[in-house]
Structures are given as structure tokens and as C-alpha cells.
């Protein structure tokens, strides 16, 4: 039995959106029903068993819309399996794990999510937005540092966790309904 999974993202230049699409595609290969959506277009989490949320990471900050999504959906996310990721490091620091911003760390703790995984990002002159990004995209930080094999492995880990959760519910011993519960 497959799970209904939301992969939501907040992207500035499209690199994080591409990573979200890759995660969604990998989860689909395992039979899950996956929606990949920009966080701004997510209204209701009711249909989803699990949520993967990713944000671009700039100057050690998540995109505002991703933080807003976490704040707005705290109660709903507590009732689901949740994975977080951020992307953005490029150049010599691309392989260093980045700490979650304090607000995101607090919200992740509130919903019971594990710390965000860091994926190297992309910084290219053609897609760079903003003065700083355009300036940096002309130097030694320019290029696509995304590690697709790493993203695929992480997606497979998510699938394994989803399957493990599913198996644990299949083998759960049956219990008597609570007193006064009418089965009819």
C-alpha cells in the first residue's frame, strides 16, 4: 500500500524546486502517490500521510514562505511523518552540513521532525536573482553543485521509513474496541 506524500518547497532560483521534483520522482518509483508543490500553493495537509519540506538556504536563512508554512501547519505536521531539507551551499563550502536557522530548528522540534539535511545548491549567472547572487555567480562559487546521487539516497531513506511505518501498522496486534464503542 502506498502513502500519499507531499513534497513542498520554497525556491528562489529554481534549484530547490528541481531537488523537490527529484525527491518526488524517486518516491513515485517506490509506488507512493506524490504531489510536488510550491509551499505557497499548499492549503490543506489533510490528504497527506507524510510531508517533505525543502527551502533554499541563503545567508543561513530559510525562505520566508517555508517558515510561514511550518508555523501555519504545526498541528497538522505533528500528526505526520515529516522530513526537512535545505539547499544552497556552493563553492568550497558546498559539502558542509549547514545548521538549521533557529526558528526552523524550534519549529522542527515542535513538530517532531529530524534536523534538515543539507544539499549543495546551484548558482548560475542565468538564474541568479538579486545583486549579491548575480555578483557571486560570476566568481568561483558559480556552477551546479547539486549531488543527485545523494538526493536519491535520501529519498530512498524516506521510502524505507514510510515502508517501515506501514509494516508496523500491518503487524499491530488487534485490540478490543474501548468500552462503550459500538461496532456497527
Given a cut of 60, whether residue 170 has pLDDT beyond it is no
pLDDT digits (tens, 9 = 90+) for 86-108: 987 554 454 555 678 899 999 99
Given a cut of 80, whether residue 72 has pLDDT beyond it is yes
SS (H, E, C) 61-108: EECHHHHHHHHHCHHHHHCCEEEEEEECCCHHHCCCCCCCCHHHHHHH
Q: Which residues contact 121 (CB under 8 A, 6 or more apart)?
A: 15, 16, 56, 57, 87, 88, 89, 90, 94, 145, 146
Tell me the average pLDDT across 114-139.
63
- Predicted local distance difference test score (pLDDT) of residue 107: 95
Q: Specify the range with the lowest mean pLDDT, choosing from 76-80, 148-152, 166-170.
A: 166-170
88: phi > 0 → left, psi -120 to 50 → alpha, else beta; which?
A: left
How high is the mean pLDDT of the chain? 81
Dmax (CA) for the chain in angstroms is: 70
Q: How confident is the model at residue 139 (pLDDT cuts 50, 70, 90)?
A: low
Tell me the average pLDDT across 102-118.
92
Tell me the average pLDDT across 127-141.
53
- Predicted local distance difference test score (pLDDT) of residue 126: 55
Domain 4-170 = CATH 1.20.120.1080: no
Given a cut of 60, whether residue 140 has pLDDT beyond it is no
Given a cut of 60, whether residue 167 has pLDDT beyond it is no
Given a cut of 60, whether residue 147 has pLDDT beyond it is yes
To the nearest whole percent, how much of the chain has pLDDT over 70?
A: 71
Domain range annotation of the chain: 4-170
To the nearest whole percent, how much of the chain has pLDDT over 90?
A: 55
Strand 33-38 and strand 143-144: pairing?
unpaired
Given a cut of 70, whether residue 172 has pLDDT beyond it is no
Q: How confident is the model at residue 113 (pLDDT cuts 50, 70, 90)?
A: very high
Q: Specify the range with the lowest mean pLDDT, choosing from 23-37, 86-100, 105-119.
A: 86-100
Backbone φ, ψ for residue 146 (5° rounding): -60, 140
Amino acid at each position: 500500500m502506498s502513502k500519499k506524500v507531499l513534497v513542498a518547497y520554497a525556491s528562489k532560483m529554481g534549484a530547490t524546486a528541481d531537488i523537490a521534483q527529484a525527491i518526488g520522482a524517486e518516491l513515485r518509483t517506490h509506488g507512493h502517490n506524490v504531489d510536488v508543490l510550491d509551499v505557497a500553493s499548499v492549503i490543506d495537509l489533510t490528504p497527506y500521510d507524510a510531508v517533505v519540506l525543502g527551502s533554499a538556504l541563503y545567508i543561513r536563512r530559510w525562505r520566508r514562505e517555508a517558515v510561514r508554512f511550518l508555523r501555519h501547519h504545526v498541528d497538522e505536521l505533528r500528526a505526520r511523518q515529516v522530513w526537512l531539507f535545505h539547499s544552497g551551499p556552493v563553492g568550497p563550502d558546498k559539502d558542509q552540513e549547514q545548521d538549521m536557522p533557529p526558528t526552523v530548528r524550534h519549529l522542527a522540534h515542535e513538530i517532531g521532525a529530524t534536523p534538515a539535511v543539507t544539499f549543495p545548491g546551484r548558482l548560475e549567472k542565468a538564474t541568479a536573482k538579486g545583486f549579491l547572487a548575480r555578483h557571486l555567480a560570476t566568481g568561483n562559487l558559480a556552477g551546479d553543485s547539486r549531488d543527485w546521487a545523494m538526493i536519491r539516497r535520501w529519498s530512498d531513506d524516506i521510502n524505507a521509513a514510510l515502508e517501515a511505518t506501514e509494516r508496523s501498522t500491518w503487524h499491530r496486534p488487534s485490540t478490543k474496541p474501548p468500552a462503550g464503542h459500538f461496532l456497527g
